[in-house]
Structure 1
Amino acid sequence: MTERPILFFDSGIGGLTVLRETRIFIPDRKFIYIADDAAFPYGNWEEDELKSHIIDLFAKLLNLYNPILCIVACNTASTLVLKDLRRAHPDVPFIGTVPAIKPAAEQTRSGLISVLATPGTVKRAYTHELISSFASKCHVRLVGSAKLAGFAEDYLRRKPVDRASLKQEIAPCFVEKDGHHTDIVVLACTHYPFLVNLFRKNAKWPVDWIDPAEAVAKRALSLLPDADQVQTLTEHLDLAHFTSGRTDYATNRLLHGFGLRLTPLGQE
């Protein structure tokens, strides 16, 4: 029987942060990484059009690859369509990547939390529901950036990043209130952990930067059938597909560094 893969999905290459962590917990499973770069950035889409686009694309992906589970390694997509995907495909487990507001509220000492996200994630009702449910006693600053995901894509391809602009994008995360300071920033976009060293260098003061990748990886492990959690390691490169069909040398080199082999959509 052909091994059923774990499918990762993101608008670009940010989901590689989640893939990297998941491999630690599930080292012997085959992975397929889908980058919907033809539609990147998702922030430029109208909400209803983006929802229809992602749902239609997933119908195609599930038919092509028959994954054992799907990880939506994108906060924008997760907060927008996760419920619809689960309803449309009840036999496939879907794991979303949503802002880590609950652990931030549990860990903060000052009570001041910031959520650094894309504009779409910031305005999503799902995000505000998380705050109401888990951080109602905290002061939560939502910071939406239209630039940082693109900066991360450039940074990973070793292109220059405008450091002054990056500093300006994260500046609203740092809040002073009644003698207290923000002490936790939630990285609510899977692209952002790739920039965390630059964030630290340009922060107004030290904070904890929370990345949900480990929690997503643990959840994926818990959803695999017991017989699938221990397998004989096979010699292969996991696969990556870009919906645009276009990649450059820097992207190919990056994917190879993550143990991924670039192939056309639907081919192995």
Structure 2
Amino acid sequence: MKTVCVFDSGVGGLSVLRALLADMPEVRFIYLADSAHAPYGERGADWVRQRSERIVNRLRESFAPDAIVVACNTATALAIDHLRQAHHDLPFIGVEPALKPAALQSRTGQVGVMATRGTLGSERFAALRQRLEHHGQPPVDFHCVACDGLADAIERDDQAAIETLCRHYVGDIMGMAPAGQPVDTLVLGCTHYPFATEPLRASAGPGVRLVETGVPVARRTREVLRLTALSPTRPAQSATLLTTGQPAALAHLAQRWLGLPLQPQTWAC
């Protein structure tokens, strides 16, 4: 059986794990929520790289994974190149804001991007944005907002704060588009944000598409592992959950978001 380790700054990567489990239930998944240090998006680049390296070293020692999914946009943007150089014998699959799929879906050419400050300030994101805005077809304008506090509110499952922040940041994005060319596509550039889909839809309106990254990451992971299609009899979904924070909080959200009665373990890292 293949083993894949998945890590995020906290619970947001459960949105990626959900897609991975749906596509590859025959794989053993180990998920680490680094909730004691969340969110990464408002920390410095050096800190994110060092923390990601520490986590990967511990995961390799404990589980000998066949691949690691970096289920955090900030860690992907700031650390995945370093991780690939330091661990050249191990495949890494990262997540990035889905700018290209959003550009292809947009009818108005106006795309909003919600992400953390760390992701939006990274060289990796800047290069992707520039390539698509200046050389992509069809032409598109990206309207980006650093959503300070939103990942943390989702981490705490604070519904009142989530709704308030969604209204605020979506309103900012909608105000950036030129008259007569409204934003019609919204990129959820942090793995936490898919768990705020309902308030985001309420704030953006019914005509705005929401684009996330879980399914493409699952597809890419299957390719990296060179797995064939599943037989019609699918094994039951399961995963091992680890957290540097409170296990009860992660168990509650895993049940709510994944529909799985899992018992997370506290993990020192």
- TM-score, structure 2 as length reference: 0.88
- Report how far residue 49 of structure 1 moved: 2.0
Q: Is residue 191 of structure 2 the alignment partner of residue 193 of structure 1?
A: no
One-letter amino acid of the structure 2 residue matched with residue 254 of structure 1? L
Two-structure CA RMSD over aligned residues (Å): 2.3
Q: Is residue 185 of structure 2 the alignment partner of residue 181 of structure 1?
A: no
Describe the shift of the 1:229–1:5 C-alpha distance in structure 2 as closer, same or farther (beyond 3 A): farther
Contact 2:247 2:266 in 1 (8 A): no
- Report how far residue 29 of structure 1 moved: 1.1
Equivalent residue for 1:80?
A: 78
Q: Is residue 237 of structure 2 the alignment partner of residue 239 of structure 1?
A: no
Mapping 1:157-168, distance limit 5 Å: 159-162=158-161, 163-168=163-168
Distance 1:17 1:82 in 2: 19
Distance 1:125 1:233 in 2: 41
Distance 1:263 1:165 in 2: 31
Equivalent residue for 2:250?
A: 251
- Report how far residue 17 of structure 1 moved: 0.6
Describe the shift of the 1:83–1:112 C-alpha distance in structure 2 as closer, same or farther (beyond 3 A): same
Question: Paired residues, what number?
Answer: 259
Distance 1:108 1:208 in 2: 8
More displaced, 17-26 or 175-184?
Answer: 175-184
- TM-score, structure 1 as length reference: 0.88
What percentage of aligned pairs have identical amino acids? 31
Equivalent residue for 1:107?
A: 105
Contact 1:200 1:206 in 2 (8 A): no
Equivalent residue for 2:149?
A: 147
SS in 2 for 1:161: helix
Distance 2:58 2:240 in 1: 17
Equivalent residue for 1:170?
A: 170
For residues 181-209 of structure 1, the C-alpha deviation after alignment (integer angstroms, 9 at most, x for no partner) is 11111100000011011111122663111
Mapping 1:1-268, distance limit 5 Å: 3-136=1-134, 137-155=139-157, 159-162=158-161, 163-174=163-174, 175-203=176-204, 206-226=207-227, 237-244=238-245, 246-248=246-248, 250-256=249-255, 258=258, 259=260, 260-265=262-267
SS in 2 for 1:141: strand
SS in 2 for 1:71: strand
Describe the shift of the 1:171–1:225 C-alpha distance in structure 2 as closer, same or farther (beyond 3 A): same
Describe the shift of the 1:169–1:236 C-alpha distance in structure 2 as closer, same or farther (beyond 3 A): closer
Structure 2: gaps of 5 or more residues: none
Distance 1:229 1:198 in 2: 35
More displaced, 40-49 or 227-236?
Answer: 227-236
Contact 1:171 1:204 in 2 (8 A): no
Distance 1:110 1:235 in 2: 42
For residues 137-193 of structure 1, the C-alpha deviation after alignment (integer angstroms, 9 at most, x for no partner) is 3211111011111222233xxx43233343112212213314211111110000001
Contact 1:102 1:135 in 2 (8 A): no
One-letter amino acid of the structure 2 residue matched with residue 84 of structure 1? H
SS in 2 for 1:176: coil
Describe the shift of the 1:49–1:164 C-alpha distance in structure 2 as closer, same or farther (beyond 3 A): closer
SS in 2 for 1:241: strand
One-letter amino acid of the structure 1 residue matched with residue 70 of structure 2? V
One-letter amino acid of the structure 1 residue matched with residue 142 of structure 2? V
Distance 1:262 1:179 in 2: 49
Contact 1:37 1:242 in 2 (8 A): yes
For residues 195-247 of structure 1, the C-alpha deviation after alignment (integer angstroms, 9 at most, x for no partner) is 01111112266311101111111101111134797799667842111124x33
Distance 2:254 2:147 in 1: 25
Contact 1:28 1:232 in 2 (8 A): no
